[in-house]
Each structure stands twice: as C-alpha cells, then as structure tokens.
A and B are shown apart, each in its own frame.
Chain A
C-alpha cells in the first residue's frame, strides 16, 4: 500500500469515532496488538529521546525497503507507534522522505496530546525520517 493510502485509511478509521473515549480505546487496542520487537533491539541506542515513556525504534534495510519495528513501555505510545509503522514501514527511503505527516493532525492526535507528548510523537517521526535519509545516503555511496 502506498504511504498516502495508508494515511488515508487511518484518517477514515478515526473519522468513525464520536468521542475521545472511542479514539483512545482504539489507540489502546492498537498498542496491545503492536507486534513485539525482538528483545535484542530494545537497547539504549534504539531509544528515542524526548518522550515521557521509553520508545524503541529499530530499522532494517534490505537494499530496497526499510522495515521498522517499535516498542514502548506505555500502551498509548505503542498505539501511536503502530500507526506510524503502518504508514512508514516497508517503503523506500525516498518514499518515506517525501511523505507528509498531515495525517497526525487529521486524526486529532496533536490537539489531544500535550506538547511534551506530541514532541515524543514528533521525535518518532523525525527518527523515521532520519533513518530514511541515512539509507538513502548509503545507497548513493554504494552505487
């Protein structure tokens, strides 16, 4: 699925929720269903700074696509990580770099998450884009 399509389908899912409880219930569900990251990747160097809870993000590059896995000790953060992986994982570095982050606003997460928390969210996105840039550079050097 294209990044834009994945974002749109998330926006549609969140459109169905009438109140905040439903929205958070769904985020919590997503948090609980996020596939477990391998324990060996939950290391200091994979920790994302700027979050109140601990968030680990691991990236693997197969020469074409980047695959992300993530984990957090907070469930809501895991739910958000799940959304980000749905959108950004299994894409080329260039696609990830070009993708807009508008869907976060559209589903009302920035307005419902306090600045300190949304900074955590922004830190996750920033880290994803950093990986994309790093692998794009690696590709250019290798070629």
Chain B
C-alpha cells in the first residue's frame, strides 16, 4: 500500500539542528552546502555523547559488560543500515570510513583480482574524483582501460553512447547515483540491467543519493553500493559498502590487522567471515552509533517526505535563480536532486562566494572535485547551492538577495 506523503515543517525540524541558529559575520547562518556535508540533529549528538559517556569500549573484543553493550549497539546499526537500503543480509554491509574508502576497497580487492590487461572499466563524465582516481590507479597497475560515458549539455548521460561502449571488454561499470555537482539523478536501474546482461559488475556511488531518495539495493540489483554517514546527517569518518554476498565472499581481504582474522600464526593466517573480513582494526564504533541515530531520525521524517519537500524547494530555488537573466544554471536534467550549480555572468565564482560568505551564506565554489566535468562545460568552477530538508524558502530568498549584492559590487 502506498504511504500518504506528509508535509514537513522546516521550522519545527530546524529546532532539532542546534548549529542552524549560528550567526556568521553578524548574519544568521544560511547553510546551503549540504552536498559537502550535512548538519547533525541533536539526536545524533546525543547518541555520540551517550556512547562516550556510558558504554565506550572496543567492540567484538571483550567479554566485559561495556564491550558487549558497544558491540550490540554497533551491530544493531549494521542491521539498521541493511533495512535502510534493503540489503538481503546485514553481513553484506561493510563499515568503512566513507564512500571514498568503500570505492578504494572494491578497486583494491575485487579490482586487483578480476581486472586484467586490456579489460575496460566504464565510468561517466559526471563522476566525483573519488569514483575516477581509484579506477585510474587500478587501470595503470593492470594495463586496463578507463572509458568515460559522455553527458548531454543538460547533464544527463548519453545513453546511446553508453550502449555502444558496453562491449564484452567492460568488466566493471562504476557510476554515480546522484551527481554532486549537477544534481543529475542517473538512470541506475537501466544501467545496471544493461550491464548485467553484459556480465559487467556494477558499483554505484551513492554518496549524494542516500539522503535524498529511497535506495533499495535489491530492487536496483547493483553489485556494490558505496555511501557516507556524514552526507546523511550522521558523523564524519564512518560510512559503508554494500556488496552482494557471493561477490564479497570471493574477494580477498582489504587491509590486514585485528578483527579480520580467524587465526594467526607466523606461517599462515586464515581470514574471518563476512563482514569482518573487510574490517581490520578498531572500527569507528561511536561514529557508527551516531550513524544509526541519523537513520532513525530520517526514518522518523520519512525519506519520501524528505524527497518531496526537497524537490519542491529545489524547484523554488531554480525558479528564483532563473528570474535573473545574468544567471546560468549548469545542469538541468529533468531528474534532479536539490543541488543547483550556477554561474553569474562576468563574476568569478570565487568572488561571489567570498561576498556571500560575508552575508552568512554558505555555498560551495570551485570545481566540486569534478575537474573533468568543469572542463567539459569550459568553466573555471561554479557556485553550488545544495539544499536539505531543513532549508527554507526564506533562505533561498536570502541567497537571491545576496546575489543582488554581489552583482552590485562587481558589475
């Protein structure tokens, strides 16, 4: 049964985020840099404090009370993550430091084992450096070839080109779910189906997707899905990798150390079972517990309600920006998350960002870790406003007023 969408009230929600009442340069903070990192609700801060105040201990290592309590909490969050992305089993969820480490893990283990000279790895033009460089490094090592799916001017993937490039040489497709720079939502399901029909493994970079749209890894059918907690209102330094069980089982371990082993002698070490095989060393247990609190918070609001609110706010911001004929929006895909990259005619993004900051408005300027994409559009960078469910129309208005001030100063 379809659940009825609920209208979120940002004024109530904002009270859950203490940092949003900060003053910056004598102006109320207008935080529009959510694609870089999201702010944390009180519930996440409380979970972190509670962990360090009451049950900080090393997980999976002690028989004592605190260690058991921490281990249970740590493993409960794994189960929460499983539910959130609808993985088949919680041991398909590997804790990592975040999306970048998740992608590097796959490149170093699955990639090194399976990629051979002459094989091809397919990525797209809108990838973040984190989903480019690990594959470049792997290709260099293995003498494999990195190929790049081009995009159309509006920021959508050129699917005709994709189908042409998907030859039997392509062993891996590594593709973003949502572009961090343009907001484009890629047709991942179609890409995955086509890749699988071609016996190509698929990794999805979900860093920007998880907080904005419902993700169901079984429905998508992807082989790997990488994500970060801090992009979805959780702490930094913790994230995860989803992998299909049979693929993870066949992969060699990533790093060596404690926890990932079953038995160690100087002659031979046998490795632990999933997911621990990939989790060497003491994990960020506190971070994981904070991540769990963030997922609880998102579940309480409802990801579909969040998507609906952000979609409406994104449309409002786009409309307001387009009222100004000096502004050019870069990336106008029909399917978009609430990430808006734009340029003000004859004003360098750095100049605009500096002045907006003076007015307490936090936007990102620069190449957004997508240098090849900026080259494609022939721009030095953009100004990026990325919205979350705690942003309001009046904050969008503040951005519009800020831009007027910028124009006054520079033009």
Contact = CB atoms under 8 A, between A and B. Distances in A.
A pairs with B: yes
Interface of A: 20-21, 24-25, 28, 52-54, 73-77, 112-114, 117
B200 interface: no
Nearest to B352: A74
Q: Which of B25, B350, B355 has the most CB of A within 10 A?
A: B350
Interface in B341-387: 347-348, 350-351, 354-355, 357-358, 365-366, 380-381
Contact of B348 (A24, A25, A75): A75
Given A24-B358, A28-B409, A28-B410, A52 B351 contact: no
Given A24-B354, A52-B381, A75-B351, 8 more contacts: A20-B358, A21-B358, A24-B409, A53-B351, A75-B410, A77-B350, A112-B358, A114-B357
A21 B358 CA distance: 9
Contacts of B366: 52
A58 to B, nearest CB: 20
Q: Which 8 A-B pairs have the closest CB atoms?
A: A74-B348, A74-B350, A53-B350, A52-B350, A74-B351, A76-B351, A20-B358, A75-B351
Contacts of B350: 52-53, 74, 76-77, 117
A114 B25 CA distance: 12
Contacts of A21: 358, 409
Contacts of A28: 409-410
B348 A73 contact: yes
Contacts of B409: 21, 24-25, 28
Interface of B: 25, 347-348, 350-351, 354-355, 357-358, 365-366, 380-381, 409-410
Contacts of A24: 354-355, 358, 409
Contact of A76 (B25, B354, B380, B381): B354
A73 B381 CA distance: 11
Nearest to B347: A75
Contacts of A113: 354
A115 B378 CA distance: 26
Contacts of A112: 358
A73 B380 contact: yes
9 contacts: A20-B25, A24-B358, A24-B409, A28-B409, A52-B366, A54-B380, A73-B380, A75-B410, A114-B357
A53 B354 CA distance: 12
A75 B410 CA distance: 8
B358 A52 contact: no
Nearest to A51: B350
Given A24-B358, A76-B350, A52 B410 contact: no
Contacts of B358: 20-21, 24, 112
A78 to B, nearest CB: 9
Nearest to B353: A52
B410 A53 contact: no
Contacts of A74: 348, 350-351
Contact of A117 (B25, B354, B380): B354
Contacts of A52: 350, 365-366, 381
A24 B355 CA distance: 8
Nearest to B366: A52
A62 to B, nearest CB: 33
Contacts of B355: 24
